[in-house]
Amino acid sequence: GRPLTLAEKILYSHLADPQGTELPERGVSYLKLQPDRVAMQDASAQMALLQFMLSGLPTTAVPTSIHCDHLIEAQHSADRDVAQALITNREIFEFLQSAAEKYGIEFWKPGSGIIHQIVLENYAAPGTLMLGTDSHTPNAGGLGMSIA
């Protein structure tokens, strides 16, 4: 048939079982994928980490990062807003940092940057597949990365 799109090439190159019996059918098949990386923002990472902790695994299966940016409200100035977020969300940030240290997860502290920009500058590479919990992270597709 037709040539594969870039997204299809990336997805097919990340199949958990590339020797499967047949080619997946668009809109019908479920794909089991092996991503290259996971990136989570602070508001959604909490539940994901709690679920991961229940797995009993000592580390994540793929490189993972937590980005503390969503719980910072932009109201006054960067320094003032980060300082307020550190007070308001202290327990959350401490939990995220301690879980990151325990499970070998990269931790981007409050004030270190916005997740989708950090992904572009540090992790995006052509042909890679990332799972991201931020709605803007798919902008890395402009660099040839696919993000679900």
Give dist(CA 123, CA 130) in Å, integer. 9
Provide the pLDDT for residue 21. Answer: 61
Tell me the per-residue pLDDT of 22-71, one tens digit each, with 9 for 90 and over: 777 878 888 889 999 999 999 999 999 999 999 999 999 999 999 999 98
Range of the domain at 63: 35-147
CATH number at residue 104: 3.30.499.10
Number of domains into which the chain is organized: 2
Same domain for 107 and 71: yes
Residue 66: strand pairing partners: 40, 107
Same domain for 42 and 66: yes
**Identity of residue 133:** T
Q: What predicted TM-score, i.e. pTM, was given to this entire model? A: 0.88
CB 145 within 8 A of CB 125: yes
Same domain for 57 and 20: no
148 band by pLDDT with thresholds 50, 70 and 90: low
Same domain for 42 and 27: no
Same domain for 135 and 73: yes
Same domain for 113 and 86: yes
Tell me the per-residue pLDDT of 67-93, one tens digit each, with 9 for 90 and over: 999 989 999 999 999 999 999 999 999
